Amino acid sequence: MGISILSIESSCDDTSAAVIIDGKVASNIISTQTAHAAYGGVVPELASREHQIHIVPVVDQAIKESGISLSELSAIAFTRGPGLLGSLIVGVSFAKSLSLGLNIPLIDVHHMHAHVMAHFADEPHPPFPFLCLTVSGGHTQIVKVHAADHMEILGQTLDDAAGEAFDKTGKMLGLPYPAGPEIDKLAQKGDHKFDFPIAKIKGLDFSFSGLKTAILYFIRDNKKADADFIENNIEDICASVQETIINTLMQKFLLAAEQEGITHLAIAGGVSANKGLRERLKTECEERNWNYYIPQFQYCRDNAAMIGITGYYKYLKNDFCDLDVKAEARLTF
């Protein structure tokens, strides 16, 4: 019998479970919490309560769809951090109890390593070393991936994450949370008509907090002349903001590739679902004759398949954790 891993992801507002059999995704169930939309952001207390409700049915479904039974599992992988502590604790406690009940090993996984390793759910895998631009709601990182168990951050955001820049812009424009997908859709119908500044940060780091302030003033000033400025220009505003975020990201990502002499570029995380970013990575790489790797949509957002894939590579190295492992909201990379 091969290696079958059940994996659990509960770091934010998605409850997810997956089964990975011999490094291939056999099932990947994601239950997205909708309770937060009314508040314009994730409410931590609500998130952990929702995880409590969904974790058992989500795991049940993942097992059922995989076609194997609990008794055939080789190990349980789970997200240890970073993320919301109350949310993480639900997944960590569940994973510990099940591993104890089934008497199989536990594998702790770093959520940001897993976003990168999502690329190993599909063929072709990027070859080592490669660079990954990981862009999510909480993180923006340029990662040099030496090996499955050896990653190095070359640059990161000094303040807001790229996803946060999308979400905060959306809030100012009156769009529902999370605004990233909505801005993406509207941007496709608009033009880059308005210019926003790109922060000048040394090296390979990013900053998005200035953009947020620039957009706030831009909206305020234009509304003085036209009270319906947002409604009348929503598609062009979205296209302009999105283009600025993509330019900010790609400038540094391409610089990192040149500095490192690495021509295999991957994107990962929730924002890598963005059509504009996917398209841009493709054209920049094609122009240079470089290789690019874009994950399937289901592996961009938070999902347990990426946790299980990372867990599988740790399993191959017998890299297990003890039952006294704790969830860590600020787990170091």
Positions in the binding site for ligand KG4 (CB under 6 A): 12, 136-138, 163, 166-167, 178-181, 184, 269-271, 273-274, 301-302
**Nearest residue (CB) to ligand KG4, 105 versus 137:** 137
Q: Residue 303's closest CA among 140, 100, 126, 62?
A: 62
Residue 271 contact, options ligand KG4, Zn ion, none, Cβ 5-8 Å cut-off depending on partner type: ligand KG4
Give the 3-state secondary structure percentages of the chain, helix then strand then coil, rounded to 5. 50, 20, 30
**Nearest residue (CB) to Zn ion, 182 versus 302:** 302
- CA pair distance 66, 4, nearest whole angstrom: 10
Count the residues of the shown chain that bind Zn ion, applying the rule CB under 5 A: 2
Is 58 in a helix, a strand, or coil?
helix
**Nearest residue (CB) to ligand KG4, 171 versus 288:** 171
Q: Which stretches within the chain are classed as H helix? A: 44-66, 85-102, 111-117, 162-172, 180-187, 209-225, 229-260, 275-288, 304-316
Per CB under 5 A, contacts with Zn ion among 274-303 are: 302
Per CB under 5 A, contacts with Zn ion among 127-156 are: 136
Rounded to 10 deg, the angle between the 229-260 and 180-187 helix axes is 100
Smallest distance, Å, CB 136 to Zn ion? 4
Residue 190 contact, options Zn ion, ligand KG4, none, Cβ 5-8 Å cut-off depending on partner type: none
Smallest distance, Å, CB 3 to ligand KG4? 26
**Nearest residue (CB) to ligand KG4, 67 versus 333:** 333
**Nearest residue (CB) to ligand KG4, 74 versus 136:** 136
Structure tokens, 29: 């169930």
Q: Are 211 and 258 in contact (CB under 8 A)?
A: no
User: What is the DSSP track for 30-53?
Assistant: EEE--TTGGGTS--HHHHHHHHHH
Smallest distance, Å, CB 69 to ligand KG4? 30
Smallest distance, Å, CB 119 to ligand KG4? 14
